[in-house]
């Protein structure tokens, strides 16, 4: 960036930011003459990704700070006023640094625009925000969170009246309004907003119906009542929002919950983990230690905003981590089989998963006559599909994604670790009542449908240069696609950006019925699949590999075959990167 342009953007930000912490943060970088850091803070403005804002906390146009939050919220306010006669909004926030401040800034901007705003009195999980939007009949919702990102990040996700994250046409409409906002913004004080009745503080009036909703997701409530006391669960909220509601819902059904003491209290530094993400084994180390010490029957972890759930279970003297794909398969198996058995499976039942989620889940649900729908990565697309079902007459029963996100009720329209944890416990009790563990059931599924194993390879590319690198890589894969991965021939390619399917023979078809997205999928001749996409929320590119063997092959041999394939694919991906 040219020096004059950089200076102009710095002055623009300092003119519009009135929070002294953030102006001082920027002044420190200026005095240190850190040109690279200044360029990173100003080469672009933090923009909406897959549902809102996400970025590092700090002073600058490419950072999360009060001015950027005010600007985003003014744009949202303008959109609400243009599209509704009496708009309202709900705001929740998590345990990250400045989440409460950013939530307060957003609330005051909305109130300054005459939009009635409901603000939670303290931190709450993301699924509670989604539920609250629907419960209160609000026009929009905001949750201040950066989900599972490292401690230096925060974010801001926007929801529409259906309780799902914004999708077309609302996403582009709001973005256009945000981009049009200029100049300093001076919201009314919190005291004035409360006095005028524009700001309403909420807590138990949402918590109570949410807890009732979680309990209503039970398919076999008698299991919890009769066997719950015999189950010992170790739980970690990873310093986030999950503590109160996960503990409460399980304890009220008689389950013993031991929460990891070092990780129970909210803390935006996430002092005991490098990444507060239950997808990462190291984040669950303290929970594993406690589970071994207490001879627990299961351990569970949720990320800071409690929308992702990870579990692990004992297998002899070891604790086995269950992947997101595996837990999704187990939940799908339990939910659909149990609903069919108790007579609660509607005729037009539907299951929704993302295009990078294991095909094992599709195979399982289709055995119950259930329609499986694939959507793009991002839970907002699952929510959008649920809204479509309201007009088609289909019944959403379950949905999920490989990144540890699950939804077991249509009353919430984003991934919900609280309800998923509740069902995971009930599922464990059910299999125990049949004399088996969840791992035993997983092996049965593999024996019946074939062995599936997945691998995720991620590489970070920070800043302006990183984006250029990722763009070049995606272009290279489109222009010169690999003819094989790991020695297995590519049979066809799906390009979700163009909507085209390209066969190895050269035949092409414009047959992808999903919104354009910068995603490539390589289908291999043996049924394996490799997907590549830049992340919508982090500066990284992701390769998803999924390999399988046919049913009938002894399990240990199937694992060996599949792992050899995955190792070969990983080696080739490493070479590409």
| pLDDT tens-digit series, residues 109-146 | 999 999 999 999 999 999 999 999 999 999 999 999 99
Q: Provide the whole-model pTM.
A: 0.94
Which conformational region is residue 295 in: left (phi greater than 0), alpha (psi within -120 to 50 degrees), or beta? left
pLDDT at 196: 97
41-50, 200-209, 298-307, 446-455: least confident range: 41-50
Tell me the per-residue pLDDT of 513-533, one tens digit each, with 9 for 90 and over. Answer: 999 999 999 999 999 999 999
Q: What is the pLDDT of residue 50?
A: 54
pLDDT of residue 211: 98
Check residue 535 and give its pLDDT: 83
Q: With 0-12 CB in 10 A as exposed, 13-18 as middle and 19+ as buried, what is 96? A: buried
pLDDT of residue 48: 63
Q: Where do the structural domains in the chain lie, given as residue ranges?
A: 3-202, 204-448, 452-576
Instruction: Please determine, for residue 577, whether its predicted confidence score (pLDDT) is greater than 90.
Output: no
Question: 381's torsion region: left (phi>0), alpha (psi -120 to 50) or beta?
Answer: alpha
φ/ψ of residue 244, rounded to 5: -65, -50
Say how far apart CA 507 and CA 488 lie, in whole Å: 20
Distance CA 237, CA 259 (A): 8
What integer pLDDT is reported at residue 164 of this predicted model? 97
Average pLDDT rounded to a whole number, residues 219-239: 95
Average pLDDT, integer, range 39-65: 88
Residue 49 pLDDT exceeds 70: no
Mean pLDDT calculated for residue range 452-458: 95
**pLDDT above 80 for 464:** no
Catalytic residues: 147
Average pLDDT over residues 490-513: 95
DSSP H/E element including 478: helix 463-479
Closest CA to 197 of 314, 139, 257, 115: 115
Is residue 47 very low, low, confident or very high in pLDDT (cuts 50, 70, 90)? confident
Helix (H, G, I), strand (E, B) or coil at 511: coil
Looking at the chain, the whole-number percentage of residues with pLDDT higher than 70 is 99
Q: What's domain 204-448's architecture?
A: 3-Layer(aba) Sandwich (3.40)
Owner of token pair 């996700």: 157
**Does the pLDDT at position 539 exceed 90?**
no
Q: What average pLDDT score do residues 316-320 get?
A: 94
3-class SS of residue 262? helix
Say yes or no to pLDDT of 536 above 80: no
Average the pLDDT over 474-494 and give the result.
95
pLDDT by residue (tens digit) across 72-81? Answer: 999 999 999 9
User: Which candidate, 476, 577, 475, 490, places its Cα nearest to that of 530?
Assistant: 490
Mean pLDDT, residues 184-190: 95
Residue 52: per-residue pLDDT: 83
Report which of residues 268 and 49 the model is more confident about: 268
Say what angle helices 359-366 and 324-342 make with each other, to 10 degrees. 10
Is the Cβ–Cβ distance between 140 and 87 less than 8 Å?
yes
Q: Percent of the chain having pLDDT more than 90?
A: 91
Instruction: Identify the pLDDT of residue 465.
Output: 82
Q: Which two tokens stand for residue 355?
A: 């295009």
Alpha carbon distance 38, 33 (integer Å): 8
List, for residues 151-166, the tens digit of each pLDDT value.
Answer: 999 999 999 999 999 9
**Is the domain 3-202 a CATH 3.90.800.10 member?**
no
Evaluated on CA atoms 346, 349, 351, 352, the torsion sign reads negative
pLDDT tens profile 413-425: 999 999 999 999 9
**Mean pLDDT over each residue of the chain, to the nearest integer:** 95
For residue 127, report the phi and psi dihedrals to the nearest 5 degrees: -60, -25
In this chain, the answer to whether the domains covering 3-202 and 452-576 adopt an identical fold is no
DSSP state of 538: S
Higher pLDDT, 468 or 301: 301
Of the candidates 422, 412, 399, the residue with the CA atom closest to the CA atom of residue 135: 412
Tell me which fold the domain 452-576 belongs to. Answer: TATA-Binding Protein (3.30.310)
Strand order in the sheet with 395-401: 371-375, 349-354, 395-401, 405-407
């Amino acid at each position: 960036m040219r020096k004059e342009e950089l200076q102009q953007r710095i002055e623009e930000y300092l003119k519009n930011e009135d929070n002294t912490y953030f102006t001082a943060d920027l002044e420190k970088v200026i005095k240190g003459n850190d040109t690279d850091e200044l360029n990173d803070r100003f080469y672009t403005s933090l923009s909406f990704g897959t549902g809102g804002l996400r970025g590092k906390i700090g002073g600058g146009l490419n950072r999360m700070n009060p001015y950027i939050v005010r600007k985003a919220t003014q744009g949202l306010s303008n959109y609400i006023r243009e599209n509704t006669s009496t708009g309202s909004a709900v705001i929740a926030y998590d345990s990250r640094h400045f989440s409460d401040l950013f939530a307060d800034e957003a609330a005051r901007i909305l109130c300054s625009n005459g939009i009635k705003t409901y603000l939670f009195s303290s931190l709450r999980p993301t699924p509670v925000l989604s539920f609250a939007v629907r419960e209160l009949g609000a026009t929009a919702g905001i949750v201040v969170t950066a989900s599972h990102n490292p401690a230096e990040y925060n974010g801001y996700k926007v929801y529409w009246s259906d309780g799902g994250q914004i999708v077309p046409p609302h996403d582009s409409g709001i973005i256009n309004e945000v981009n049009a906002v200029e100049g300093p913004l001076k919201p009314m004080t919190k005291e004035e907003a409360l006095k005028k009745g524009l700001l309403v503080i909420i807590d138990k009036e949402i918590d109570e119906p949410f807890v009732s909703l979680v309990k209503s997701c039970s398919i076999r409530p008698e299991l919890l009542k009769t066997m719950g006391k015999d189950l010992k669960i170790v739980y970690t909220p990873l310093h986030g929002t999950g503590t109160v509601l996960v503990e409460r819902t399980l304890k009220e059904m008689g389950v013993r919950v031991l929460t990891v003491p070092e990780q129970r209290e909210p803390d935006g530094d996430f002092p005991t983990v490098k990444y507060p993400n239950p997808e990462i084994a190291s984040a669950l180390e303290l929970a594993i230690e406690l589970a071994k010490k207490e001879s627990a029957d299961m351990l569970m972890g949720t990320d800071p905003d409690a929308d992702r759930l990870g579990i692990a279970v004992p297998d002899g003297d070891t604790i086995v981590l269950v992947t997101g794909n595996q837990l999704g398969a187990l939940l799908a198996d339990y939910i659909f089989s149990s609903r069919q058995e108790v007579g609660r499976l509607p005729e037009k039942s539907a299951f929704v998963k993302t295009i990078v989620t294991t095909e094992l889940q599709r195979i399982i649900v289709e055995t119950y006559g259930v329609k499986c729908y694939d959507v793009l990565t991002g839970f907002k697309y699952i929510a959008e599909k649920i809204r479509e079902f309201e007009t088609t007459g289909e019944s959403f029963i379950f949905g999920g994604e490989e990144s540890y996100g699950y939804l077991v009720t249509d009353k919430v329209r984003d991934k919900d670790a609280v309800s998923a944890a509740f069902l995971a416990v009930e599922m464990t009790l059910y299999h125990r009542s049949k004399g088996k563990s969840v791992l035993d059931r997983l092996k049965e599924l593999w024996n019946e449908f074939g062995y599936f194993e997945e691998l995720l390879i991620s590489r970070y590319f920070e800043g302006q240069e990183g984006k250029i690198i990722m763009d070049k890589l995606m272009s290279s894969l489109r222009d010169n696609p690999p003819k094989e991965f790991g020695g297995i021939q590519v049979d066809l390619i799906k390009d979700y950006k163009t909507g085209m399917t390209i066969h190895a023979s050269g035949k092409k078809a414009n047959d992808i019925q999903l919104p354009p997205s910068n995603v490539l999928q390589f289908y291999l001749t043996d049924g394996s699949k490799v997907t590549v996409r830049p992340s919508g929320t982090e500066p990284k590119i992701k390769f998803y590999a999924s390999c399988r063997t046919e049913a009938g092959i002894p399990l240990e041999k199937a694992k060996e075959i599949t792992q050899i394939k995955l190792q070969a694919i990983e080696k080739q991906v490493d070479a590409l990167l």
